[in-house]
Amino acid sequence: MSSSFFYIQVEKNGQNSGLLNTLEQYSNTEMKQMYVIDKPLGDNKYSYDCENALVLLIPEHKITFVNYGANSESFSDYVDDFIEDLGSISDKFRYKNEIGRPRQWKKNLIE
């Protein structure tokens, strides 16, 4: 069942389906907007070697990176690369003047 509160852009599999089902149920019950992604939206040129990680986006909450089975080095690289790509996208769409560089916001906005 799909709702307007829950957006998912990751492939459900045996390792993440329990988490994704729980997030979707919470989103619908609490009527909270949630986005579950594994790469930045709007630009398909970004790809990552880490397969067992996702990003949870909820308004008024920190950007949350979730490791559900990746080794720690692969997950750390995924987080760093994702943040770098967000910086690139913010520059491309001229948001950098509004939000600043990743080094300025990542401490306060990343979990």
Q: Domain limits at 62?
A: 6-109
Task: Flag whether pLDDT at 98 surpasses 70.
Answer: no
Give all strands of the β-sheet with 53-57 in edge-to-edge order: 6-9, 34-37, 53-57, 64-67
Read off the tokens for 15: 């390792």
Q: Would 1 be classed as within a structural domain?
A: no
Task: Flag whether pLDDT at 92 surpasses 60.
Answer: yes
Percent of the chain predicted with pLDDT > 70: 86
Total tally of structural domains belonging to the chain: 1
For strand 64-67 and strand 34-37, is the pairing parallel, antiparallel, or unpaired?
Answer: unpaired
Can you tell me whether residue 15 is helix, strand or coil?
A: coil
pLDDT band at residue 77, thresholds of 50, 70 and 90? very high
Of residues 24, 52, 26, 46, the one with CA closest to residue 36: 24
CB 9 within 8 A of CB 41: yes
The tens digit of pLDDT for each residue in 6-56 reads: 999 999 999 999 999 999 999 999 999 999 999 887 667 778 888 899 999
